[in-house]
Amino acid sequence: MRKDTMFLVQTHLFLGVASALVIHSMPWKVACPHQCICQIKPWYSPQSVYREAPTVDCNDLLLTQLPSSLPPETHTLRLQSNLISALDQSELQGLANLTELDLSQNSFSNTRHLRISSIPVLLSLHMEENQLHHLPDSAFTGLPGLQELYLNHNRLKNISPGAFKGLENLLRLHLNSNRLVGIDRRWFHALPRLEVLMIGGNPVDVIQDLNFKPLGSLRSLVLAGMGLRELSERALEGLHSLESISFYDNHLTTVPKEALQKLPGLKFLDLNKNPIQLVRQGDFRNMMHLKELGLNNMEELVSIEHSAMENLPELTKLEITNNPRLSYIHPQAFQHLSSMESLMLNSNALSALHRETIHSLPSLQEISLHTNPIRCDCLIRWVGAEAEKPVRFIEPQSTFCSEPPELKARKVKEVSFREMADSCLPLIAPGTFPPFKQVRQGEHLALHCRALAEPEPSIYWVTPKGLRLSTSSSYGPYQVLTEGTLEIFGITAEEAGFYTCVAQNLVGADTQSVTVQVDGVDKGQVSSTWQGKDKLEVKDVRERYAILAWPANYNVPSARLSWLTNESLADHHKHSARILAGTQGFNLTRLQPGTHYRVCLHLGPNDTSCVHLRTKEIAVTVATPDLTPAVLLAASALLFLLAAKACQGGTSLGWKRQGGEDPLKPQACSLPAEVKGHVALVCPQQQQQSQMHQAQMQQQTETQCPTKESSDSSSTENSDAQHPQNVQGRPAESC
Ligand SMILES: *[C@@H]1O[C@H](CO)[C@@H](O)[C@H](O)[C@H]1NC(C)=O
Ligand SMILES: *[C@@H]1O[C@H](CO)[C@@H](O)[C@H](O)[C@H]1NC(C)=O
Ligand SMILES: *[C@@H]1O[C@H](CO)[C@@H](O)[C@H](O)[C@H]1NC(C)=O
Ligand SMILES: *[C@@H]1O[C@H](CO)[C@@H](O)[C@H](O)[C@H]1NC(C)=O
């Protein structure tokens, strides 16, 4: 049985029932019918007018008809849980003040058995949990004063257009949990004053345009637990007075933003438990009176995008909780929410909340972040910053760091500002897309890849054929949206295979891959071998660096480059660097001048290509390495963060993955607990070298594919600003 109380809570929010005021029953000295209880009880009218009501309670007595000789003063008559299937006006004779009649949980199968000709003062009729299956025209006659009608939990399959004729004073109608398959606008013509309509829990999957048009006085509408998949633009038109609407537990996959725009007075909106994946830009915009919004219990929700909520000047409370896959809230997701006081984000998959998000909410007073896999690094640093305006943490005692390992299980509030790094690696949340996806030919597939980091990372995707697609670009059936979603339209077996998302910033990179199977075809990870010309090539050799290039005609998520000199005694270690998916070139730096090197690219266990090169002899003047203090400082931070990756192996350059999947690199080393200036890494020397190369790898060449590139300007500017020495002499493109 559905939890009706849940819906009621919301109704009461604005109807202002003084439920806190508890007044106890008083004795009522009257000749009471056998087995019934007669008392004076507190009573509220549907409009919250309080009365002391003479009440006769005959619940649970196996009655098949009304008791005789009811006291004439009876105001409330309760006959709940009996076996009554018919009632006659004569049985209520003399009850001039009968205001509430409760016939719930009885055996009525037809309203024609409710033979009431006139009870003008009756305000409230309870017929819930009977066996009504049909309401004929004028089903409730003789009740011109009725304000509340409860018909929930019956078997109503159809209701005649004129069923509610004669109920022009009705304020509340409860039709939830029946078997209605449609909503007929004509029902409502007879109900001009209706304020509350509960019609959830019916298998209605479509709301017709203008379905509620006659209900200009309606204040609360509950459409919970229906099969709603979408809502047309005009579905809610005419509900000028609506303040509260619930779509709890439907099948909506997107926010019905056009329909919601037709509700000028909306204050409370419940979209909980719908399979919405993304809250997109403009989904909640210019809703001038919205006060509370709920986006809870969404299994599919992964991301709250840029400007998802914009210009909601009265929004005070936002609840986005219990969404097991929600890992990303864009730093600028909230715009112009000047009244927002309470932000509930607990029990999601959030690793961080950007300080910009907090700064964009000038009235914020409290925040709830507990039960999230919080990464205590630069992104959550604002929590400990002293200059920060005081925001109250809800349940600070259970708001823990889950990363990095040194801070694990510490309370976020208790980790000092200084203990957290001021820049951090991108981290793609593990749950954003699955490692394996099965689709049918012709389908549309959307894979969402999001990463938060400082500086803001850029995201690209690599297709099974090695094609690199940056954000805001499209190629063939592919499109990559600004925030990192890869869309494949009309998928065919051609597109089956291994896809990798890469998120990178100056500090490092994270990758995550998915195998897409189309109609059972799974090309998996292609393991081709080098053929003819598809080889590692030396594009340029200088004194201290060499540019290498190779074609990428398939996606290799775990490629590695290694190099070794056979000449210098001072440097006889084998160096190696991990190559990000979709990369086709590498600047091998810090080489010894006039030295012979052997460089190999490893794409798989049996898939290695090597070249020999000799660096140029040094020119007349002795070059000193260009290491200014600033460069050193930056480099040490890079080293620290990249070391985490190198030490642990795996597909990530972050610290999140434990245990390596790169058998060639099982090094282990421990991380320093603090990041302050220069870091002493407890790693073998050669590793530091290779990590430096990893850092440089970030600047590597991009495949200029025939794509409509209008790449994300902010991130491009960002990386250019930080990389004055831009990559020149890019290797030849091949797509
Ligand atoms: C009905 O209520 C009115 C007003 O409260 C009261 O004066 C009258 O006596 C009541 N009638 C009966 C039969 O109790
Ligand atoms: C290093 O290797 C290259 C290529 O195999 C070879 O020509 C060269 O003589 C070697 N140098 C030394 C010092 O062994
Ligand atoms: C690599 O080559 C060896 C020896 O030829 C072979 O046994 C092994 O199966 C190959 N591995 C892969 C992944 O192709
Ligand atoms: C390779 O790296 C060196 C040293 O950092 C740099 O001077 C050079 O410009 C780089 N070359 C390219 C093509 O990026």
pLDDT tens-digit map of 551-595: 877 788 788 999 988 765 555 678 888 888 888 889 999 888 888
Whole-angstrom Cα distance, residue 510 to residue 609?
25
**Tokens 């592919």 found at:** 478
DSSP string of 233-265? TTTTTT-TT--EEE--S---SS--HHHHTT-TT
Same domain, yes or no, for 605 and 668?
no
Nearest listed ligand to the Cα of residue 53: 1
Whole-angstrom Cα distance, residue 508 to residue 424?
8
Find the mean pLDDT for residues 134-154: 96
**pLDDT > 70? residue 386:** no
* Cβ contacts of 630 within 8 Å, gap of 6 or more: none
Nearest-CA residue for atom 2 of ligand 1: 97
Residue 18 lies in a domain: no
**pLDDT > 60? residue 318:** yes
566 Cα nearest atom in ligand 2 = 1
Instruction: Give the Å distance between the CA of 571 and the centre of ligand 4.
Output: 21
- Which pLDDT value is given to residue 526? 54
Residue 707 lies in a domain: no
Report the share of the chain in percent with pLDDT over 90: 57
Nearest listed ligand to the Cα of residue 52: 1
Nearest-CA residue for atom 14 of ligand 3: 606
pLDDT-wise least confident of 238-247, 330-339, 650-659: 650-659
**pLDDT > 60? residue 692:** no
* Cβ contacts of 331 within 8 Å, gap of 6 or more: 354, 356, 357, 452, 456
Same domain, yes or no, for 541 and 506?
no
**pLDDT > 60? residue 647:** no
Residue 15 lies in a domain: no
Of 576, 599, 614, the residue that ends a domain is: 614
Nearest-CA residue for atom 8 of ligand 3: 606
- Burial of 698: CB neighbours in 10 Å, binned 0-12, 13-18, 19+: buried
Whole-angstrom Cα distance, residue 694 to residue 506?
11
Task: Write the DSSP symbol of residue 465.
Answer: T
The finding on whether 706 has its CB within 6 A of some atom of ligand 3 is no
Whole-angstrom Cα distance, residue 624 to residue 199?
79
Nearest listed ligand to the Cα of residue 95: 1
- Which pLDDT value is given to residue 570? 57
Q: 483 with 533: CB under 8 angstroms?
A: no
Find the mean pLDDT for residues 662-677: 26
Instruction: Give the Å distance between the CA of 727 and the centre of ligand 4.
Output: 7
Between these two residues, 621 and 472, which has the higher pLDDT value?
472
The whole-model pTM stands at 0.77
| Tokens linked to 355 | 């300080």
Question: Which of these, 275, 224, 222, 277, lies nearest to 244 by C-alpha position?
Answer: 222
Same domain, yes or no, for 556 and 610?
yes
Report the share of the chain in percent with pLDDT over 70: 78
Between these two residues, 44 and 529, which has the higher pLDDT value?
44
- Which pLDDT value is given to residue 266? 98
Nearest listed ligand to the Cα of residue 727: 4
Residue 590 lies in a domain: yes
**pLDDT > 50? residue 369:** yes
Instruction: Give the Å distance between the CA of 30 and the centre of ligand 1.
Output: 15
- Burial of 117: CB neighbours in 10 Å, binned 0-12, 13-18, 19+: exposed
Residue 360, helix vs strand vs coil = coil
Same domain, yes or no, for 493 and 454?
yes
**For the chain, how many structural domains are there in total?**
3
Same domain, yes or no, for 495 and 433?
yes
- Which pLDDT value is given to residue 587? 93
Whole-angstrom Cα distance, residue 242 to residue 196?
9
C-beta atoms surrounding 69 within 10 Å: 10
Helical (H) or strand (E) element with 636: helix 629-648
The finding on whether 73 has its CB within 6 A of some atom of ligand 1 is yes
Domain, as residue range, for 501: 425-525
Of 525, 556, 572, the residue that ends a domain is: 525
pLDDT in tens, 164-213: 999 999 999 999 999 999 999 999 999 999 999 999 999 998 999 999 99
Q: Which of 545, 626, 638 to mutate to test the pocket of ligand 4 (most atoms within 8 A of CB)?
A: 545
DSSP string of 642-699? HHHHHHH-SS-SSS---S-S-TT-----BPPS--SSS---BS-HHHHHHHHHHHHHTT
The finding on whether 97 has its CB within 6 A of some atom of ligand 1 is yes
- Burial of 317: CB neighbours in 10 Å, binned 0-12, 13-18, 19+: middle
- β-pairing, 458-462 vs 497-504, is antiparallel
Q: Which of 43, 49, 93, 97 to mutate to test the pocket of ligand 1 (most atoms within 8 A of CB)?
A: 97
Q: Which of 38, 52, 69, 73 to mutate to test the pocket of ligand 1 (most atoms within 8 A of CB)?
A: 73
Same domain, yes or no, for 508 and 576?
no
The finding on whether 663 has its CB within 6 A of some atom of ligand 3 is no
Output the CA torsion sign for 661, 666, 672, 677. negative
- Which pLDDT value is given to residue 619? 73
pLDDT in tens, 86-120: 999 999 988 999 999 999 999 999 999 999 989 99
Of 596, 614, 632, the residue that ends a domain is: 614
727 Cα nearest atom in ligand 4 = 14
Residue 168 lies in a domain: no
Same domain, yes or no, for 432 and 519?
yes
Find the mean pLDDT for residues 71-93: 95
- Which pLDDT value is given to residue 685? 28
pLDDT in tens, 11-48: 433 344 444 455 678 889 989 999 999 999 999 998 88
Half-sphere exposure of 680 (CA within 13 A, CB side): 0
**pLDDT > 60? residue 134:** yes
Same domain, yes or no, for 448 and 515?
yes
Nearest listed ligand to the Cα of residue 631: 4
pLDDT in tens, 468-524: 999 999 999 999 998 899 999 999 998 999 999 999 998 889 999 999 999 987 665
Same domain, yes or no, for 460 and 551?
no
Same domain, yes or no, for 502 and 460?
yes
Whole-angstrom Cα distance, residue 465 to residue 518?
16
Residue 71: band (very low, low, confident or very high) from pLDDT cuts 50, 70, 90: very high
- Which pLDDT value is given to residue 408? 86
CATH number, residue 593: 2.60.40.10
- Which pLDDT value is given to residue 620? 66
Whole-angstrom Cα distance, residue 486 to residue 445?
8
Helices 629-648 & 685-697, crossing angle to 10 degrees?
100
Instruction: Give the Å distance between the CA of 606 and the centre of ligand 3.
Output: 6
Residue 601 lies in a domain: yes
Residue 172 lies in a domain: no
Same domain, yes or no, for 470 and 511?
yes
Nearest-CA residue for atom 4 of ligand 3: 606
Between these two residues, 37 and 526, which has the higher pLDDT value?
37
Same domain, yes or no, for 484 and 520?
yes
Average pLDDT, the chain: 80
Residue 278 lies in a domain: no
Nearest-CA residue for atom 5 of ligand 3: 606
Paired with 638 in beta bridges are: none
Residue 405, helix vs strand vs coil = helix
